[in-house]
Structure 1
Amino acid sequence: MSRTIAGVLAVLLVVGGVAGVALSPAAGQAATHESTVNCSFPITVTDANGANVTVSERPERVVTLAPSASQVVWELGAQDSVVGMPVNQYTSYLNGSSEKTNVVTDNGQPQIETIIGLEPDLVLAPNIISSDAVEQLRDAGVTVYRFESASSIGDVVEKTRLTGRLLGTYETATDVSARTQAAVEAYRNATTGAERPTVYYAMGGGFTAGPQTFIGDVIDAAGADNVASAANISTYDTISTEVVVEENPDWIVVSGQSPIPSDPALSNTTAIQENQTVRVDANFISQPGPRVTQPLRTLATAFHPEAAADVTADPSTVSAPVCAADAMEPTTTESASATTTDSSAETTEMTTDSTTESTTAETVTLETNQTMDQATEQTTTATGPGFGIVAALIALVGAGTVTRRQ
C-alpha cells in the first residue's frame, strides 16, 4: 500500500472527542407519528442485495460486521444480544465490546467460520461486506441483513429505525432517532441565515469528502460550504492543492490525530493564517451512527459559536412511523425512513458511556471499515441507510484496510 493511501486511511480512522446538544424538556416524549410499520415478528424486509430477509422472532444472538452497526446496536441498548462484532480500536469506545468475539480479519472482512460457529439469529452486514461473504453465510443457514450505504445523516435516522425493527427494539429506536434528527434540525435552523464559512475536510493523502457523503452532510448541517464542490467532487476523491488555495477555505477540518495539512502552498489560506482548524472524533465522523451529533456540535460551535451556543433540540417535533401489529405487510427500509437531511445525534450525547480517543495510523484499518462500509456501499448501490463511508475512495484504493473502519 502506498504511503498516500495509508495516510488517507489513517486519517479516516483517527479519533477525537466532543460533547452534545441540549434536549428540551420534551425530550422524553414520544415523537409525532404519521404512519405505521410492522414491528411484530416475523418481520420481512428487503436488503441492499434485493433479498427478502425474514427474522422469525426477536434475535437473541446478534453479530455485527462493522463498527457503525455496533454503535447503533449499543445506542438501542441491545448490546447484550451481541455475541460477535469487530473488536478493535474502532469499537473500543463501546462498553463491553472487548468481551465480545471478534468476527473480522485485520482487513475488516468477516471470518465466516467464526460467525457460523456463533450460531447467530441475525447478522447485520454493512454494504462494504462482499456479496460473496453474505451468500456464504446465507448458504450456511445464517440470516443476514445487508444494509445500503449511508450518504446523509437522514440515512442514519432511517437505519436506526430499521435496526430497531430487526432487533425488536423499535420503540427505543424511534426515541434515539428522534433525538438525533431533532439535534440535526436544531443546528441547521440555528445557522440558517448566517454567513456560511468555506471548509476543507482534509482526509490525508490529498483526499477529501464531497457534499454527497455522510461527512459532507455533517459539514452542511454545521452551517458551512464544502470547497470540494469547486473541484466537482461529490463523493470521495483527491483534490488539488491549487483548487484548495484558490478557494481559500476559512476552516480546515481533520479527524482524530491526523496532522494539519503542511503543504507550504496552504500557508496563506485564511484557515492557516487565522489558525482556524478543528478536529473531530474520527470514529463518530466516519461511522454513520447516532453519535454523529458530537462532531456536528464541534463543527457548528467552531463555525458559528454564538448561534450554536444555545441550541436546544425538541424530539417531540419529529415525525416517525409507529408500530402497528396489524400492518398488512412488512415493509422495506423505506417504511422506517425519515427526511434525508434530518438525522442522528442526540442519543450520542445522552449515552456516551465512553468517548475514548483511540486511533491514528492503526485506526486506519478499523475506521476504514466504517468508511469503507459507506464507500463500498456507495459504489455497489445507489444510496440509502447503511454502515460505511468512502465509496469513491474504495473504488480508488480497493477493499482491504479501508473496510475495517466502517
Structure 2
Amino acid sequence: MKTWWNKSLVVVMIAALTVMLAACGGTAADNKTQDNNQAAEQTDHTTKPDSSEQSLKTTYPLTVKDATGEEFTFDKAPERIVSVSPAETESLFALGLDQEIVGVSDFDDYPQAATTKPKMGGITKPNEEAIIAANPDIVFTGISMKEDVVKKFRDLGISIFKVDPKSYDDVISNIELYGQITDRQQEAKDIVDNMKKVREDVQAAVKDAAEKKKVYVEFSPGWTVGKGEFMNELIEIAGAENIAATETGWININEENIIKSNPDVILYSAGLIDTETNKPLEELIKNRQGWDQITAVKDNHVIGVDSNLISRPGPRVADGLKEVAKAIYPDLVK
C-alpha cells in the first residue's frame, strides 16, 4: 500500500508540474513535459504485469463441461487429482502436477514418477474403494471408460471428468483445458506449441512425396482402426492413406480384405506379444496365409512403432506422429 501511495504521489506531482509549465509556455516547458511523460510511462511499464501473463492465469470460479456434457465448477485449482487413464496421466504430469496427483491406474507407466503413485485399479473399471479413499477433488478419465461406468462413479458422489479425443486437435484442446482447470496454462501452451510445430514439420516434410502410400496399422492382434479416431488421423497427417479408412472406429480385421488392399507399409505395436499364441505380433503378421504376397511384407516394410505413442492421446502423440511419418516416408522425415 505504501508503494502504491508513493507512486501515485509522484504521478500527481508530475501532472501538476506539467500544468504549470504549460501555462508558462516556451520550448523548455514542452521539453520538460515530454521528459516527465516519458518518465511516467517508464514507471508504469515496470509496475504493470504483462497482459499476456495475466491472460494465462485462470480466473476462478471456472465452469467447464466434459465430453459427456457434465458441467463442473472449480472454485480453485484442484489440489488432489486422480487419473485413471494413461494418456490423461501423461498430460497432467507434463503440466507439472506431480504433487497434486494422488492416484493413477494400474497401467500408468509414464513418466517414471507415475509408477510410484497409489494405484486405483483398471482403466475401464477402476477400484471405486481406492478412489474414494484417495479423497480426490477430481478424477480424470479418457477414451477407455464407457459412459455407464462414468455414471456409476458419479452416482457414488465421485467427480469424474471424461474426455474422448478423436483427433490431434482434440488432444491439444484437452491439454489446454487441463491447463485452465489446474491454472497451468503457460505449461499447457508450451506443450501444445510443440505439438503444433511437430505437425507442421511433418506436413512440410511429406508434402512433396512422389506417391501417397497405403498403410495398414495393427495396434493389437487382429485389430486395426478406421476413420473418426486419432490413430487414423496420424496416418493422414503423415501424408499416407489408411486402407481401413472406409470403415469407422476400432475394427476387427478381415485378413482377405487386407490382402486385397495390398498396403505399401504395415505398422504394428512393437514388442507386443499375442496372449493366445504367445508369439510376437510381427511374427503373426508376416506368417498369415497369403500375406507374403502383400507389398509391405515382400519389401520388408513391416515396421514396429511404440504402441504407447500411437495409442495414448496425450502430449507424446506428437512423438507418435513423427514415428509414423518416419516409418512411412523414411527418406523424407528425419
Common fold by TM > 0.5: yes
**Deviation, structure 1 residue 48:** 2.2
2:257 aligns with one of 243, 246, 258 = 243
1:222 aligns with one of 220, 225, 238 = 238
- Alignment match, 1:39: 58
**Deviation, structure 1 residue 49:** 2.4
Question: Which segment drifts farther, 63-72 or 293-302?
Answer: 293-302
In the alignment, is residue 264 of structure 1 matched against residue 289 of structure 2?
yes
In the alignment, is residue 154 of structure 1 matched against residue 169 of structure 2?
yes
- Alignment match, 2:248: 234
Figure out how many residues of one structure are paired with residues of the other and give that number. 269
Aligned amino acid, residue 230 of structure 2: F
Partners of 2:114 and 2:63 in 1: CA distance:
29
| Conservation of the 8 A alpha-carbon contact between 1:156 and 1:290 | yes
Partners of 1:133 and 1:299 in 2: CA distance:
33
- Alignment match, 2:183: 168
- Alignment match, 1:80: 99
Larger helix percent: 2
- Alignment match, 1:392: none
In the alignment, is residue 51 of structure 1 matched against residue 65 of structure 2?
no
User: Structure 1: which 5+ runs fail to align?
Assistant: 1-32, 310-406
Output aligned runs, 1:271-282, within 5 Å: 271-282=296-307
| Conservation of the 8 A alpha-carbon contact between 1:87 and 1:100 | no
Aligned amino acid, residue 176 of structure 2: R
Query: For 2:293, what is the secondary structure of its paired residue?
Result: coil
**Deviation, structure 1 residue 241:** 2.2
Partners of 2:238 and 2:216 in 1: CA distance:
13
| Conservation of the 8 A alpha-carbon contact between 1:215 and 1:286 | yes
* Greater gyration radius: 2
1:145 aligns with one of 147, 161, 175 = 161
Partners of 1:53 and 1:42 in 2: CA distance:
10
For each residue in 1:282-306, what CA deviation from the matched residue of structure 2 results, as whole angstroms up to 9, or x when unmatched? Answer: 1121110110122222221222223
| Conservation of the 8 A alpha-carbon contact between 1:112 and 1:136 | no
| Conservation of the 8 A alpha-carbon contact between 1:180 and 1:290 | yes
Taking structure 1 as the reference length, the TM-score comes to: 0.62
Query: For 2:296, what is the secondary structure of its paired residue?
Result: helix
For each residue in 1:342-384, what CA deviation from the matched residue of structure 2 results, as whole angstroms up to 9, or x when unmatched? Answer: xxxxxxxxxxxxxxxxxxxxxxxxxxxxxxxxxxxxxxxxxxx
**Deviation, structure 1 residue 126:** 2.1
Partners of 2:328 and 2:157 in 1: CA distance:
50
Relative distance call for 1:204 and 1:82 in structure 2 (3 A) is closer
**Deviation, structure 1 residue 204:** 4.3
Output aligned runs, 1:174-193, within 5 Å: 174-193=189-208
Partners of 2:324 and 2:199 in 1: CA distance:
12
Output aligned runs, 1:101-140, within 5 Å: 101-105=118-122, 108-140=124-156
**Deviation, structure 1 residue 50:** 1.8
- Alignment match, 1:197: 213
**Deviation, structure 1 residue 207:** 2.2
Relative distance call for 1:249 and 1:65 in structure 2 (3 A) is same
Relative distance call for 1:142 and 1:245 in structure 2 (3 A) is closer
- Alignment match, 1:317: none
Measured on the aligned residues, the alpha-carbon RMSD in Å equals 2.1
**Deviation, structure 1 residue 140:** 4.8
- Alignment match, 2:321: 296
User: Structure 2: which 5+ runs fail to align?
Assistant: 1-51, 273-280
- Alignment match, 1:404: none
**Deviation, structure 1 residue 274:** 0.8
Relative distance call for 1:146 and 1:249 in structure 2 (3 A) is same
**Deviation, structure 1 residue 196:** 1.6
Partners of 1:141 and 1:207 in 2: CA distance:
36
**Deviation, structure 1 residue 70:** 0.3
**Deviation, structure 1 residue 208:** 1.2
Q: Percent identical across equivalent pairs? A: 29
Question: Which segment drifts farther, 205-214 or 40-49?
Answer: 205-214
Query: For 1:77, what is the secondary structure of its paired residue?
Result: coil
Aligned amino acid, residue 251 of structure 1: V
In the alignment, is residue 255 of structure 1 matched against residue 274 of structure 2?
no
Query: For 1:97, what is the secondary structure of its paired residue?
Result: helix
| Conservation of the 8 A alpha-carbon contact between 2:86 and 2:110 | no
In the alignment, is residue 92 of structure 1 matched against residue 109 of structure 2?
yes
For each residue in 1:260-284, what CA deviation from the matched residue of structure 2 results, as whole angstroms up to 9, or x when unmatched? Answer: 2021311011111110111111112
Aligned amino acid, residue 296 of structure 2: A
| Conservation of the 8 A alpha-carbon contact between 1:245 and 1:266 | yes
- Alignment match, 2:83: 64
| Conservation of the 8 A alpha-carbon contact between 1:278 and 1:299 | no
